Chains A and B, each alone.
Chain A
Amino acid sequence: MTPFSYTRASDAADAVRRGGSGQSKYLGGGTNLVDLMRENIEQPITLVDVTGVSTGIEPVVGGGLLIGAGARNTAVAEHRLVRMSYPVLARAILSGASAQLRNMATIGGNLAQRTRCEYFYDDGGSRCNKRRPGQGCDAIDGINRGHAILGVSSACIATHPSDMCVALAALGASVHLHGLTGDRRLPLTEFHCLPADHPEIENVLEPGELITAVELGPLPVASRSTYRKVRDRSSLAFALVSVAAVLKVDGGIVRVVRLALGGVATRPWRASKAEMILLGQPATVEIFRAAAEAELSDAQPSKHNGFKIELAKRTMVAVLTELSTDRGDISHG
Chain B
Amino acid sequence: MIFVNGLPAQLPSDARVSLLDFLRDHLRLSGTKKGCNQGACGACTILAGSERILSCLAFAAQFDGQSISTIEGLSVEGVLHPLQRAFVEYDGFQCGYCTPGQICSAIGMRAEVKRGIPSYVTADLLAAAAVDRNELRERMSGNLCRCGAYNGIIDAIIAVDVEVEP
Contacts and interface: CB of A to CB of B under 8 A. Distances in A.
B105 interface: yes
B74 interface: no
Interface size class of B (residues with CB under 8 A): 35 or more
Contacts of B37: 38
Contacts of A3: 14-16
Interface in B1-32: 14-16, 18
Given A30-B57, A99-B139, A235-B141, A333 B121 contact: yes
A3 B58 CA distance: 15
B119 interface: yes
What DSSP secondary structure best describes chain A's contact surface?
A: mixed
Interface in A107-135: none
Interface size class of A (residues with CB under 8 A): 35 or more
A35 B125 contact: no
Contacts of A31: 39, 54, 57
Nearest to A93: B120
Interface stretch (B87-95, B108-116, B151-159): B108-116
Interface in B75-123: 105, 108-109, 112, 115-123
A30 B42 contact: no
A94 B116 CA distance: 13
Nearest to A36: B38
A104 B54 contact: yes
B142 interface: yes
A103 interface: yes
B161 interface: no
B126 interface: yes
Contact of B124 (A77, A98, A104, A330): A330
Interface string A183-218: 000000000000000000000000000000000000
A5 B57 contact: no
B117 A100 contact: no
B108 A100 contact: yes
Contacts of A98: 42, 141-143
B34 interface: no
A219 interface: no
A90 interface: yes
A239 to B, nearest CB: 12
A6 B57 contact: no
B161 to A, nearest CB: 21
Contacts of B109: 99
B33 interface: no
Given A91-B120, A98-B141, 13 more contacts: A3-B16, A49-B62, A83-B118, A90-B118, A98-B42, A98-B143, A99-B52, A100-B54, A104-B57, A235-B137, A236-B40, A236-B141, A330-B124
9 closest A-B pairs by beta carbon, nearest first, are A98-B142, A235-B141, A6-B15, A94-B120, A83-B125, A236-B141, A95-B120, A6-B61, A34-B57
